[in-house]
Structure 1
């Protein structure tokens, strides 16, 4: 599912936590009316303490602070931290806490990442509130102003008031938020739309990417930490490479929080390399970012290219059609390619028997996972 393409927006690329965390904290510290936050990962630690402090300051000023956390992804948030949030006046809700209901329902997680301040500025990306984002993981976010912020608010509102979300306080969102975003400062030439998915029923993010891959004429550059693409996407990437489009994948190297997912995806390397796809494995750290560039179209947000994102999770991405923004994203890709090890076809063909065994094992497990649906 997706919102309308809207003109008059401004998007600012914020690569690395050293840029996006201060920008978010500054926005929340400046909030006058409302702060809406939706996250998958939040666990107690240094970053969580900083976030709780900044949200508490906002609530103390009379700002309505609404925090929606996934019932599984935020299980690491200690009871004391939960009490601190509630004592400060933060309205806290939990999406789909684990329960004795169906397996499919327990597997459905809210993987979206969103911060909206005063209905006028929003942030999205792949971030969470865990200490790994301070230094250990490479992540990217985008700052959003303009009419598309209203679509992010509607997305948050629909889940906050959903029967799947449980908690106390703030039964309805602050009135006038959508109007505030629509009346924000105007910008020329930056088109954008919000695209979201809800498990295997609504895969608009995947369908949008597939259309872009099929229609791209110059480049398709994809960064994802969990690369286990569907057969349809693999075929479209292969066809694009064979018709002369520059297809590049920026993927994690040995630093990975789920190595088995990496091995499952590596079983596709051989065929991709033979078709002319270039594969870069990022070396400095685990790259957790999810962003894609196809000609001058950019998609950035929460969605990975694995079966969890595409079949079970609630996901949301910001799409942008703007040559200037695309040039910034291309420059970011180039910097990260330079910090990566390129996998060459000849070297990959000589990989060890043990590596091939791991690809087979985790690929088999991945195949079983696709039939759980």
Structure 2
């Protein structure tokens, strides 16, 4: 039996919280007042004290689903820039969308806007030299984060996986999307990846900007200039947002604390969507313990179109343990699932660049928004419901009967699991 033999189509009733076909308008602003229940306030204080980063109030969040919504919003924001554009990305590959971003960044630089572009030295290595030349010639300040040729073997393993765009210090974007043709479209077929980004206005923009500044400072001598106004952030909406940065280091990290708090705080439901699922034994055990205490734990992962099969094998090694604890595992069928989202009890959510794997939690620079907002979380839950209807469940009995060849493949990646 192959791994695909162990999956079965999710029933139409897989969406318990939304009727079939029902989704909220993804691009509508979410300005409803954040919940103030005792449980939510307790979660906020846990996050603030255990991570040491204050949450901010008065934020407007706009969830953007897939490239058809994400890229136009980002490009429109760049076109509107009057003072500064700061952009960082792990992936900057090829295709028309890569040329579109290069063209708009170059145009703003020629117009006198300070434009900074930070590219990861490994993830963005496929960018076309012509685009770099165009942007550089227009005055875009380009920096590379840890180009492998310059690095010790230790530093080469620690990448900048953050995705952020900050325009005029007032509008920010973050999430899972890279700049490449794979993210264009609306996840209708294998060539159009499924992902989610979020547009932010309000005090939380400063946290996203700080993530950019942290990595820019490593790569460039000039941290700020006359284009930076350091203006007060207006209160634009009702979302409470904590911006959490993960950085490569030794020992327990803030990103691990963030996810640990969300799991241990869940009372009814914990939903995880991730592109790369390869956790360590601690988080596998925590997922199981969360399910065993009565929380409905649902995991949505890539299916047949995953682009990193070694990572998939590392995660599949844990399926039996998770399924036996009552965790639900689904695999998305139409295309590559690349979103990185957690929702808890319909009131709290995490969204950003962090995957549920060792690489994101231990090795890479990451950014996540911890959001306390029922309306925003409802949109993400509705997206989860829609994605679940396009997914296949992992059947526990069938998985236990999977082929010996599959088991051998899972074991074969054991030596490299910590790097996946």
TM-score normalised per structure 2:
0.82
Report SS of the residue matched to 2:73: helix
Pick closer, same or farther for the CA change 1:337–1:109 going to 2, 3 Å. same
Q: What is the aligned partner in structure 2 of residue 321 from structure 1?
A: 372
Q: More displaced, 256-265 or 344-353? A: 344-353
Among candidates 133, 144, 148, match of residue 98 of structure 1: 148
Report SS of the residue matched to 1:207: helix
Tell me whether 1:154 sits opposite 2:210 in the alignment.
yes
Q: What is the aligned partner in structure 1 of residue 126 from structure 2?
A: 76
Q: Does the 8 Å CA contact 1:2/1:196 hold for their aligned counterparts? A: no
Q: What is the aligned partner in structure 1 of residue 56 from structure 2?
A: 6
Q: More displaced, 248-257 or 130-139? A: 130-139
Tell me whether 1:141 sits opposite 2:197 in the alignment.
yes
Q: What is the aligned partner in structure 2 of residue 246 from structure 1?
A: 296
Q: Does the 8 Å CA contact 1:34/1:174 hold for their aligned counterparts? A: no
Counterpart mapping for 1:334-373 below 5 A? 334-366=385-417, 369=419
Report SS of the residue matched to 1:99: helix
Q: Give deviations 1:231-280, integer Å, cap 9, x for gaps.
A: 22111111111111010000010111111110111010011111110001
- In 2, Cα distance between equivalents of 1:311 and 1:158: 18
- In 2, Cα distance between equivalents of 1:184 and 1:91: 28
- In 1, Cα distance between equivalents of 2:200 and 2:52: 17
Tell me whether 1:198 sits opposite 2:250 in the alignment.
no
The alpha-carbon deviation at position 137 of structure 1 amounts to 1.4
Tell me whether 1:331 sits opposite 2:387 in the alignment.
no
**RCO (CA 8 Å, sep 6+): is it higher in 1 or 2?**
2
Q: Does the 8 Å CA contact 2:114/2:227 hold for their aligned counterparts? A: no
Report SS of the residue matched to 2:142: strand
Counterpart mapping for 1:282-321 below 5 A? 282-295=332-345, 296-321=347-372
The alpha-carbon deviation at position 100 of structure 1 amounts to 5.2
Report SS of the residue matched to 2:331: strand
- In 1, Cα distance between equivalents of 2:226 and 2:401: 60
Report SS of the residue matched to 2:416: helix
Q: Give deviations 1:139-183, integer Å, cap 9, x for gaps.
A: 110010100111221221232122xx158xx6524554442xx33
Q: What is the aligned partner in structure 2 of residue 33 from structure 1?
A: 83
Q: Which runs of 5+ in 1 are unaligned?
A: none
The alpha-carbon deviation at position 24 of structure 1 amounts to 0.6
The alpha-carbon deviation at position 95 of structure 1 amounts to 1.0
Q: Does the 8 Å CA contact 1:161/1:172 hold for their aligned counterparts? A: no
Q: Does the 8 Å CA contact 1:196/1:317 hold for their aligned counterparts? A: yes
Q: What is the aligned partner in structure 1 of residue 13 from structure 2?
A: none
Q: Does the 8 Å CA contact 1:157/1:173 hold for their aligned counterparts? A: no
The alpha-carbon deviation at position 184 of structure 1 amounts to 2.4
Q: Give deviations 1:325-347, integer Å, cap 9, x for gaps.
A: 11111101101111100111112
Pick closer, same or farther for the CA change 1:343–1:334 going to 2, 3 Å. same
- In 2, Cα distance between equivalents of 1:173 and 1:232: 44
Q: More displaced, 150-159 or 24-33? A: 150-159
* Aligned-residue CA RMSD (Å): 1.8
- In 1, Cα distance between equivalents of 2:52 and 2:382: 27
Report SS of the residue matched to 1:186: coil
- In 1, Cα distance between equivalents of 2:343 and 2:126: 34
Pick closer, same or farther for the CA change 1:222–1:85 going to 2, 3 Å. same
Report SS of the residue matched to 1:128: coil
Which 4+ stretches in 1 moved above 4 angstroms? 173-177
- In 2, Cα distance between equivalents of 1:41 and 1:217: 36
TM-score normalised per structure 1:
0.92
- In 1, Cα distance between equivalents of 2:201 and 2:303: 34
Between the two proteins, the alignment pairs up a number of residues equal to 362
